[in-house]
Amino acid sequence: MSASSSAAPFLPFTRPTIDDETIAGVCEVLRSGWITSGPQVKAFEAKLSEYFGGRPVRAFNSGTCTMEIALRIAGIGPGDEVITTPLSWVSTSNVILEVGARPVFVDIDPVTRNIDLDRIEAAITPATRAIMPVDLSGLPVDRDRLYAIAGKHKLRVIEDAAQSFGSSWKGRRIGSFGDFVSFSFHANKNVTTIEGGCLVLNDEREVKLAEQYRLQGVMRSGFDGMEVEVVGGKFNLTDVAARVGLGQLPQVDVFTIQRRELARAYFEAFEKAGAKKLGLRLPVPDFAQSNWHMFQVILPEVRLKVKRAEIMAQLHAAGIGTGVHYPAIHLFALYRRLGWKDGDFPHAEQAGRNILTLPLFPTMTRDDVARVVDALVAVIQKNGKA
């Protein structure tokens, strides 16, 4: 590693891009006196609906509650099962537990790192009510096969598309078709509202329920009419957050183009560096459909004399931030107590031990990419077994 690269500014694994116009717009909202849910949220929902081809959309304060609300709208609860992946942020399965149902994990495809569609039908039982797939890193699950399986077995689909805003399937935007589609606008997502999310729905009945579940089950009428029919939560998005989202939406296509170009640069740099000889496993090189929310590699576990944490520490010392997305869910203590154990899903477990998220955000340059690849290769070579 050169002295110049070691002296370069710290490079985080992600950084949001928020322009001056959006910052000024947030200031206007703060001065308006209406900072919680109001006109900005309604405007944001309208723009989201337009983006998804006119489908109804409601905004929320996270991309976690959106999945829980979708489950509740679908009537899923105690005694029901929901098929999902063990390689995701733990919220994906936590919301299933939250409504009283049981997650049924299906191992991942080691190439795509998404749920293995070939294994889903074997996991279906009379108690199965839904499938909840995840588009890891923004790479879409095969929607044709997914919905063919769901249709055959009369199952609802709740797409955990938290990472795939701006991704597409065969030319159609994720979210513009399908059943429930849940997105996250967390600070590390391609489009952010700082914290937040949205749920794409199917009809006005679902919209009404989503609105009830969003704010304590309350329905208002006239100046003073109020009724509560269901147990809701406190999941509303603020106008401040919505204004950030309104500034982000017009830039999503540009962000996606920039991310795809950086992903191309990663593949070129890794090929030049001989990644295959090092045993590094790269993601699927999909430059047409993925939004490249993250660029993740799988470390060559058997060739290293140290574990991932030490690799991350040495990269951090070199000025490069990395992340882990994600440990295998079923090996957390909560899920072990529910009966899962080591060896249940070997592909997800191997990925969970060795997956490493590298820096990728729109304001990066090709030189930044080269710096990351050079540093990672140097660290792997330094820590390889003799």
Q: What is the pLDDT of residues 123-152, one digit of tens each?
A: 999 999 999 999 999 999 999 999 999 999
Q: Do 173 and 266 have their domain in common?
A: no
Please give the share of the chain, as a percent, with pLDDT higher than 70. 98
Residue that is last in its domain, among 250, 273, 305: 250
- Nearest C-alpha neighbor of 134 from the set 348, 285, 300: 348
Q: Do 198 and 49 have their domain in common?
A: yes
Residue spans of beta strands (DSSP E) within the chain: 57-60, 81-84, 102-105, 128-132, 156-160, 168-169, 172-173, 180-184, 197-200, 218-221, 225-228, 295-298, 355-358
Q: Do 258 and 238 have their domain in common?
A: no
What are the residues facing 209 on neighbouring strands? Answer: none
* Number of structural domains in the chain: 2
Q: Do 273 and 202 have their domain in common?
A: no
- Nearest C-alpha neighbor of 87 from the set 298, 290, 280, 373: 298
Q: Do 229 and 80 have their domain in common?
A: yes
Give the pLDDT score at 1: 46
- The owner of tokens 């001065």 is 31
What's the CA gap between 176 and 169, in Å, rounded? 10
| Contact of 197 with 207, CB cutoff 8 Å | no
DSSP 289: S
- Nearest C-alpha neighbor of 149 from the set 115, 175, 109: 115
What pLDDT, in 10s, does the model give residues 369-379? Answer: 999 999 999 99
To the nearest whole number, what is the mean pLDDT of the chain? 97
**Biggest distance spanned by C-alpha atoms of the chain:** 76
Q: 280 pLDDT exceeds 90? A: yes
Residue 44 lies in a domain: yes
Q: Do 239 and 283 have their domain in common?
A: no
Q: Containing domain of residue 374, as a range?
A: 252-382
Task: Report the CATH number that the domain containing residue 257 is assigned in CATH.
Answer: 3.90.1150.10
What are the residues facing 157 on neighbouring strands? Answer: 131
Among the listed residues 189, 208, 341, 385, the single catalytic one is 189
| Contact of 231 with 215, CB cutoff 8 Å | no
How many Cβ atoms are within 10 Å of 369's Cβ, its own excluded? Answer: 25
Q: Do 351 and 246 have their domain in common?
A: no
Residue 11 lies in a domain: no
String of DSSP letters for 304-345: BSS-HHHHHHHHHHTTB--B-----GGGSHHHHHTT--TTSS
7: confidence class by pLDDT, cuts 50, 70, 90: confident
Q: Do 64 and 176 have their domain in common?
A: yes
Residue 31 lies in a domain: yes
- 3-state DSSP call for residue 224? coil
Active site includes 208?
Answer: no
350: confidence class by pLDDT, cuts 50, 70, 90: very high
Q: Do 283 and 261 have their domain in common?
A: yes
Residue type, 245: G
What pLDDT, in 10s, does the model give residues 45-74? Answer: 999 999 999 999 999 999 999 999 999 999
Residue type, 301: E
